[in-house]
């Protein structure tokens, strides 16, 4: 009897019954709050920051001027280009006058040539005179053509000077830092007077309407997550106030070093104080399963890569292989195959269980 | 024929029983001491045994992860998983910390394990297994934690979701199991001041902080603050393969050090706990000697105290063999009762010790045999004295 009861007896195990329940499985991951749309605004060439008109925390509109880069000689070049354009315009006027002059001369020469030809026909003047006038007419025509061509060239020249001036104008406006979207300035990275190189950012801007939690989910728990599922977000700064959210994107590229995949969970309502960069815990609700055969997670063990449960029969235990389905975060596991409703399975034991071990079953409370 | 021994005792049975109890307590102390030594040895290999791994892969030229520190990249397991004869691989990480609980802290060994792989706690006394990837823990009962307790480890708070037993470090500290990702953060992520310090040092280096290459500083900082190391990789060998052969393959082609289960337990017993074992072993030897001497002395004294009665017995015609038998039986009685008392006492007070005490059948049997031999030998001395007694001395001759 000493070996039946008391501390020298067979180990006591706790059992539970397999039940049918509606399960609400979910997946847990941690992530950081990021903005889907974020912009780094800076110059496209090296320069010195002239003015910075916005600062961290400011709300800005699309098209708003946030600052300027020092134009250096661009204004002078603009003036030079304007002057060149004016000069070209004046050259056009000169050419136009020359054309008018050539037209007039040509008209006279043509009329004279015509008159002299008529006079020669009436044998009133010599051939030499007629030829001379004819020559003058041809010459005047040629001068007119030349003047017209010169006018066309002057006009093209004026166009070119205008375009050159527009180009310098574009360069000038490019030195302005313009906000590409409505949003909030996250940081001001360079103060007026600082030298910045091409591509270096002066302002960081985000669109707070696109705030989401970039959640890391272990690759082995990822299956079943879909866009549109609801989620609960717990920010580290507010651990007692979960915020509802929704899965909006499953990132295509996973992380092969940490063996995780990324799920983007957007806030249903953006919090007033923007928690950019904050750590958050996300629980994603998977589709519920109704009328599932459920066992406590403590009962499911793995033996030689096979999931199973220990069943106590007549004081001996044996391993029953099972196929598992979904798991919930409060420790319930769905059994797809291997068990029936109402069967008793071992949940807790004081030591490692082996096939055929003699045990005592503790009555279920 | 009456049993002389019993008859004699029945007159002074209180003293006899008390003597036996006293003897028993002494035997109990010796048995407990043996149990302590066995417990120490069992503690040393408890964690190793509980993982059910066949091979331990550690950093080359170290005897880790228990005897020495060993660090491996956490993707080394991938190159081992594909080798012939490997059935399962798993990363593990170990670190001793003081876990905060309420106002106190408890010394624990943090064990990081990969869920669904080797290294997971093999059974639960209460609660459930770890379900979330972060911030859940399973603790050994010796920590004193209960299911639902919140404990603080480094910068995070963990919830104890399950309890297990007999999971201790080689030094006897109870183990707390957490997921591998959490264990990597605990082991390798520094405190905030150090992190800021590291970042500032990087930013002060003009080679790494180039304004013309905007992403460079961030990339270098991120690389420096990776937590991608583990302490060892556990391997389960497929059926039909020899662990030693698979170990050789890994050692030769992967240039890592590999220990089989036997080698790891050897390292633990012979190298890690050898000083503690020797310490206790010496004391146990002394205790055994002293116990032996005391038992012998008690029996001898008891016998000598009965010289007068023995003389009377001789006077009334008791044979020498009868008297010798009486003394021997009384000595054996002392030994038997004493041993029973001692075994019961040590079994009763063993659970109150802070560390595990293991009673093995072989130790108990050997102790029993030695006790009976001591009793016999000690009684022989008394018998010799008794046989020499002159019957006449009973009446003052």
Bond into B65 cis (ω within 30): yes
The mean pLDDT value of chain A amounts to: 90
| ipTM score of complex | 0.75
Please give the pLDDT value at position A214.
Answer: 95
Please report, rounded to a whole number, the percentage of residues in chain B having pLDDT higher than 90.
37
Could you give the CA distance from residue B331 to residue A63 in angstroms, rounded to a whole number? Answer: 107
pTM of the model: 0.80
Mean pLDDT of A273-295: 92
Compute the Cα dihedral for B148, B150, B151, B155 and give only its sign: positive
What is residue A352's predicted lDDT score, i.e. its pLDDT? 84
The SS3 assignment for A251 reads coil
Res B197 pLDDT > 60: yes
Q: Which two tokens stand for residue B259?
A: 């220990």
In angstroms, rounded to a whole number, what is the distance separating the alpha carbons of residues A209 and A182? 9
Phi, psi dihedrals of residue B148, rounded to the nearest 5°:
100, -15
| Predicted confidence band of residue B311 (pLDDT cuts 50, 70, 90) | confident
> Does residue B211 sit at the A interface (CB-CB below 8 Å)?
yes
Q: Provide the number of CB pairs (under 8 Å) joining chain A to chain B.
A: 73
Give residue B182's pLDDT: 93
pLDDT band at A364, cuts 50/70/90? low
Enter the tokens of residue B173: 């500290």
pLDDT in tens, B116-128: 888 888 899 999 9
Torsional sign, CA B200, B206, B207, B213:
positive
Highest mean pLDDT among A233-237, A340-344, B211-215, B385-389: A233-237
pLDDT of residue B325: 85
Q: What are the residues facing B112 on neighbouring strands?
A: B93, B178
Q: Taking a C-beta distance cutoff of 8 angstroms, is the pair B107, B176 a contact?
A: no
Give whole-number Cα distances, A246 to A177, A215, A287, B189, in Å. Answer: 35, 12, 13, 31
Q: Rounded to whole angstroms, how far apart are CA atoms B148 and B126?
A: 11
Minimal-distance CA residue of chain B relative to A284: B132
CB-nearest to A350 from B87, B165, B212 is B165
Task: Give the pLDDT of residue A334.
Answer: 92
Which of A112-116, B126-130, B383-387 has the least mean pLDDT? B383-387
Give the model confidence (pLDDT) of B221-240 as tens digits.
888 888 888 999 999 999 89
Q: Taking the C-alpha atoms of A173, A175, A179 and A180 in order, what is their torsion angle to the nearest 10 degrees?
A: 70
B127/A298 touch (CB, cutoff 8 Å), yes or no: yes
Is the CB of A277 inside 8 Å of chain B's CB atoms?
no
Torsion angles phi and psi, residue B236, rounded to 5: -105, 125
Q: Å from A12 to nearest chain B CA? A: 10
What pLDDT was estimated at residue B241? 92
Q: In what order do the strands lie in the sheet with A176-178?
A: A176-178, A65-69, A47-52, A195-196
Is B214 in Cβ contact with A199 (below 8 Å)? yes
Distance CA A151, CA B54 (A): 96
* Cβ–Cβ < 8 Å for A290, A48: no
Nearest residue, CB atoms, A298 vs list B128, B181, B211: B128
Tell me the HSE value of A70 on the side-chain side, using a 13 A CA sphere: 14
Contact: B123, A258; criterion CB under 8 Å: no
Testing the interface with B: which of A31, A38, A225, A258 to mutate, by most B Cβ within 10 A?
Answer: A258
Side-chain half-sphere of A338: how many Cα atoms within 13 Å?
21
Model confidence band, residue A111 (pLDDT cutoffs 50, 70, 90)? very high
- In tens, the pLDDT along A289-318 reads 999 999 999 999 888 778 999 998 888 889
Confidence class of residue B397 from pLDDT cuts 50, 70 and 90?
low
Confidence of residue A330 (pLDDT cuts 50, 70, 90): confident
| DSSP summary character for residue B357 | -
For residue B230, what are its two tokens? 């583990």
DSSP state, A312? E
Provide the shortest C-alpha distance from residue B17 to chain A (in Å). 24
Of B115, B123, B162, the CB nearest to A353: B123
pLDDT tier at B396 (50, 70, 90 boundaries)?
low
CA-to-CA distance for B296 and B299, rounded, in angstroms?
Answer: 5
What pLDDT score does B157 carry? 93
Closest CA to A90 of A145, A157, A3, A23: A157
Q: How many residues does chain B have?
A: 397
B134 touches chain A (CB under 8 A): yes
Asked if the C-beta of A290 comes within 8 angstroms of chain B's C-beta atoms, the answer is: no
pLDDT band at B212 (very low <50, low <70, confident <90, very high): confident
> A200 and B212: CB-CB below 8 Å?
yes
Mean predicted lDDT score pLDDT of chain B: 88
């Amino acid at each position: 009897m000493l070996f039946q009861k008391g501390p020298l007896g067979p180990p006591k195990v706790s059992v539970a019954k397999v039940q049918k329940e509606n399960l609400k499985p979910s997946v847990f991951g941690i992530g950081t709050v990021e903005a889907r749309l974020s912009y780094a605004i800076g110059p496209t060439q090296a320069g010195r920051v002239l003015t910075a008109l916005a600062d961290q925390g400011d709300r800005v509109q699309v098209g708003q001027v946030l600052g300027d880069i020092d134009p250096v000689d661009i204004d002078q070049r603009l003036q030079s280009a304007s002057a060149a354009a004016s000069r070209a315009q004046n050259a056009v006027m000169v050419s136009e006058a020359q054309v008018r002059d050539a037209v007039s001369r040509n008209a006279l020469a043509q009329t004279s040539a015509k008159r002299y030809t008529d006079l020669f026909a009436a044998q009133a003047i010599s051939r030499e005179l007629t030829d001379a006038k004819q020559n003058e007419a041809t010459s005047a025509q040629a001068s007119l053509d030349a003047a017209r061509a010169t006018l066309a060239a002057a006009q093209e020249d004026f166009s070119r000077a205008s375009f050159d001036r527009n180009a310098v104008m574009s360069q000038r406006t490019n030195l302005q830092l313009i906000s590409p979207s409505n949003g909030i300035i996250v940081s001001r990275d360079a103060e007026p007077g600082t030298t910045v190189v091409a591509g270096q950012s002066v302002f960081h801007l985000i669109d707070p309407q696109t705030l989401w939690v970039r959640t890391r989910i272990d690759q082995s728990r990822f299956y079943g997550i879909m866009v549109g599922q609801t989620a609960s977000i717990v920010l580290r700064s507010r651990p007692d106030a979960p915020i509802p959210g929704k899965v909006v994107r499953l990132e295509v590229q996973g992380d092969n070093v940490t063996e995780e995949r990324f799920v983007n969970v957007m806030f249903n309502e953006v919090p007033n104080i923007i928690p950019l960069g904050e750590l958050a815990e996300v629980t994603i609700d998977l589709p519920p399963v109704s009328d599932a055969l459920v066992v406590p997670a403590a009962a499911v063990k793995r033996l030689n890569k096979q999931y199973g449960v220990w069943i106590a029969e007549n004081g001996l235990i044996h391993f029953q292989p099972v196929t598992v389905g979904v798991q919930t975060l409060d420790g319930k596991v769905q059994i797809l195959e291997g068990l029936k409703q109402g069967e008793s399975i071992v949940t807790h034991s004081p030591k490692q269980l082996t096939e055929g071990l003699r045990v005592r079953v503790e009555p279920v409370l | 024929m009456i049993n002389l021994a019993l008859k004699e005792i029945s007159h002074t049975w209180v003293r006899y029983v008390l003597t036996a109890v006293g003897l028993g307590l002494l035997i109990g102390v010796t048995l407990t001491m043996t149990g302590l030594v066995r417990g120490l040895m069992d503690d040393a290999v408890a964690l190793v045994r509980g993982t059910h791994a066949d091979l331990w892969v550690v950093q080359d030229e170290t005897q880790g992860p228990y005897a020495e520190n060993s660090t491996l990249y956490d993707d080394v397991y991938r190159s081992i998983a594909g080798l012939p004869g490997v059935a399962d691989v798993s990363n593990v990480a170990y670190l001793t910390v003081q876990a905060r609980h309420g106002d106190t802290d408890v010394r624990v060994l943090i064990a990081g394990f990969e869920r669904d792989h080797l290294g997971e706690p093999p059974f639960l006394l209460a609660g459930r297994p770890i379900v979330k990837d972060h911030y859940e823990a399973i603790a050994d009962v010796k920590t004193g934690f209960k299911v639902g307790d919140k404990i603080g480890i480094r910068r995070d708070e963990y919830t104890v979701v399950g309890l297990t037993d007999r999971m201790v470090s080689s030094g006897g500290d109870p183990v707390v199991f957490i997921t591998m990702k959490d264990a990597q953060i605990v082991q390798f992520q520094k405190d905030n001041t150090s992190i800021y310090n590291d970042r500032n040092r990087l930013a002060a280096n003009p080679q790494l902080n180039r304004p013309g290459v905007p992403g460079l500083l961030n990339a270098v900082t991120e690389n420096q603050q990776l937590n991608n190391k583990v302490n060892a990789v556990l391997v389960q060998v497929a059926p039909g393969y020899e662990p030693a052969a698979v170990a050789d393959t890994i050692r030769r082609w992967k240039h890592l050090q590999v220990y089989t289960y036997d080698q790891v337990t050897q390292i633990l017993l012979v190298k890690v706990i050898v000083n503690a074992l020797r310490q206790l072993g010496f004391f146990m030897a002394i205790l055994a000697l002293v116990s032996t001497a005391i038992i012998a002395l008690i029996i001898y004294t008891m016998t000598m105290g009965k010289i007068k009665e023995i003389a009377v017995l001789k006077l009334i015609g008791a044979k020498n063999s009868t008297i010798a038998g009486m003394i021997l039986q009384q000595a054996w009685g002392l030994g038997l009762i004493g041993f029973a008392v001692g075994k019961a006492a040590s079994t009763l007070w063993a659970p109150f010790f802070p560390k595990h005490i293991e009673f093995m059948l072989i130790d108990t049997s050997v102790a029993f045999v030695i006790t009976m031999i001591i009793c016999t030998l000690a009684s022989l001395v008394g018998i010799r004295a008794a046989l020499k007694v002159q019957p006449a001395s009973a009446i003052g001759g």
